[in-house]
């Protein structure tokens, strides 16, 4: 909701994707800024981004009271513009954004 007028946010114009210029060099590790060298991050279902480490992984397992680590699955996803727009839309309405976008088409085996 808008803190000024109280209205719910809506998209009022269409956005256009602008591709990066052709011929750009391969990305290199940053030497300035917030991230130095290669860092692995974990993104939780509510889109919180944290550096991934053994300690943070154990803390997350404890937070959700996970007893059987063997039951967990890692899901690596690749997405393009369409999925990015779905993520953006879902982020306004849900706290389980990744589940809603990437797992909504998966059938659960019993």
Mean pLDDT (whole number) for 74-99: 87
pLDDT greater than 70 at residue 24 = no
Mean model confidence pLDDT for the chain: 76
CA distance 63 to 83: 29
Q: Which residue has the higher pLDDT, 13 or 41?
A: 41
Q: CA 100, 103, 104, 105: dihedral to nearest 10 degrees?
A: 150
- What does the buried/exposed string (b/e) look like for 78-97 if buried means 16 or more CB atoms within 10 Å of the residue's CB? eeeeeeeebbeebeeeeeeb
CA angle (37, 41, 44) in 5-degree steps: 165
pLDDT level of residue 15 (50, 70, 90 thresholds): low
pLDDT level of residue 110 (50, 70, 90 thresholds): very low
């Amino acid at each position: 909701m808008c803190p000024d007028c109280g209205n719910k946010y809506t998209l009022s114009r269409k956005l256009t994707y602008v591709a990066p210029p052709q011929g750009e060099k391969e990305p290199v590790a940053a030497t300035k800024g917030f991230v130095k060298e290669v860092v692995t991050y974990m993104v939780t279902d509510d889109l919180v981004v944290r550096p991934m480490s053994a300690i943070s992984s154990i803390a997350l397992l404890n937070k959700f009271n996970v007893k059987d680590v063997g039951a967990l699955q890692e899901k690596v996803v690749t997405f393009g513009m369409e999925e990015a727009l779905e993520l953006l839309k879902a982020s306004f309405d849900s706290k389980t954004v990744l589940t809603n976008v990437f797992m909504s088409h998966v059938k659960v085996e019993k």
